[in-house]
Amino acid sequence: LIDEINVNALVEFRNKAKGVAEAKGIKLTYMAFIAKAVVIALREFPTFNASFNHETDELYLKKFVNLGMAVDTPDGLIVPNIKNAQNLSVFDLASQVRKLADDTIARKISLDQQQNGTFTITNFGSAGIAFGTPVINYPELAILGVGKIEQKPIVENGEIKIASMLPLSLAVDHRIIDGADGGRFLMRIKELLTNPTLLLLS
């Protein structure tokens, strides 16, 4: 499922929070907000945070979120994960995302940090790409692809306006997750990112 989200409010919110984050030694990226929105949505849609064993036909629902972050390295794509991301704030996630990316590129991550992921985010926007078809990180059941934020003309209440648009691409294992549920999951992420103060209330 593919959608574009008007993130004008998120851009403004991040700009206001950057100074507070910098005072704490934190680089506040959009990925931290996206990660927080995903974690909130996963709590509300637990099947997206599960894994499926096709040999035993068993579905394993996880009470924790180990959020995978696909990292481009000189040795190829590596997907470490942030353990127990459900317990982290936006600032905490920002710190973890940066550290995980740096440690992965420097090949300083442990095997444990690459195992037991429950859901993955891949950011092809960092390569200047808007949309893609993200490949699910087995045995996970879904993956979210994040594209490049770009300013585009949109029609709002009959008027043409300029908005910062964020492309999102969600792939799901259709054996377990229906397209309609995927749509609802993506719409919840859209709601959270277009109203970023909600990210601080969950």
Question: Active-site residue numbers?
Answer: 174
- CB distance 39 to 96 below 8 Å: no
Q: Token digits for 32?
A: 């931290």
What burial class does residue 76 get, using C-beta atoms within 10 Å of its C-beta: 0-12 exposed, 13-18 middle, 19+ buried? Answer: exposed
DSSP classification of residue 146: E
Alpha helices per DSSP H over the chain: 8-23, 30-44, 90-105, 179-194
State CA 70 to chain mean position distance.
10
Residue reference for tokens 């200047």: 128
DSSP classification of residue 178: -
